[in-house]
Amino acid sequence: MSEKLQKVLARAGHGSRREMEAWIAAGRVSVDGEIATLGDRVEVDAKIRIDGRTTSIKTADDMICRVLAYHKPEGEICSRKDPEGRPTVFERLPKIRDSRWVAVGRLDINTSGLLLFTSDGDLANRLMHPSNEVEREYAVRTFGQVTDANVQSLRTGVMLEDGPAQFDTIKPAGGEGINSWWHVTLKEGRNREVRRLWESQEIQVSRLIRVRYGMVELPKTLPRGGWIELPLDQVNYLRQLAGLEAETRSMLGSDKHSVARSKVKSSKIRRAVQKHKVISSRAKPSRQRD
């Protein structure tokens, strides 16, 4: 059965359907040797090229929805390539056949913590849509005196340059003197929203770590720069949030040897992280920006 071209490309992880429509309108996509137009439908055996490069397509039944939890370090940017040569979040992810990893949202260069990636572009785009309102939790270290009035303002809402904003919850989490830790939650994903909320109270954020996305938590044993593939129940929790049908297959084993393989994979992740640190330390430092 044929499907709309932009849907097929989005599912393969090339971008959102709207982005794919823009690519098609710009003449960047061809089908069976002819420049595609908006509204085109394609069969599974169609030969699709983007910017002259062949891309493979699969039906929804052929694709297995996979999700990775990545522990993003500070200093990495959420882009596939950077003209300044800074490290990106995609560099240490595992290779994937006939698709590519799509980030579910973004974290700025100075923020660390949980970042999800999926092989299903439709899932990523739905989770990122503002209507989903997925709760995110952050651990925040602040620098400056935080008063009860500051906390109350952040709970009830303040006016930022792009509209009103507030934390859904804000709880103290220890610290000494003017260096305090807090746990905050919100359901929006506006640019630098957590930092800007604190800055509205003239309080500086010195550390920012995302520790939870919905019910998916950052694994305590996952090193910075490491990743782990989510099991089927967590994948389907995310698909349910996005209004998608449950996935029935997984690339993770369920037999008695899977635990041993998991330990081997963890050691490989740690070695990869250490190798990346060595390579990064040899590279010429570049200017960072938030």
Q: Please state, in angstroms and rounded to a whole number, the distance separating the CA atoms of residues 5 and 64.
A: 20
CB 154 within 8 A of CB 167: yes
Q: Please state, in angstroms and rounded to a whole number, the distance separating the CA atoms of residues 9 and 15.
A: 7
CB 290 within 8 A of CB 77: no
Active-site annotation holds for 108: yes
Stated length of the chain? 290
Catalytic residue among 61, 108, 122, 162: 108
Q: Please state, in angstroms and rounded to a whole number, the distance separating the CA atoms of residues 289 and 83.
A: 13
Q: Please state, in angstroms and rounded to a whole number, the distance separating the CA atoms of residues 163 and 168.
A: 16
**266, two tokens:** 């963890």
CA distances (Å), 271 to each of 15, 58, 114, 117, 268, in order? 31, 33, 20, 21, 5
Contacts of 252 (CB under 8 A, 6+ apart): 229, 231, 232, 258
Q: Give catalytic residues, as residue numbers.
A: 108
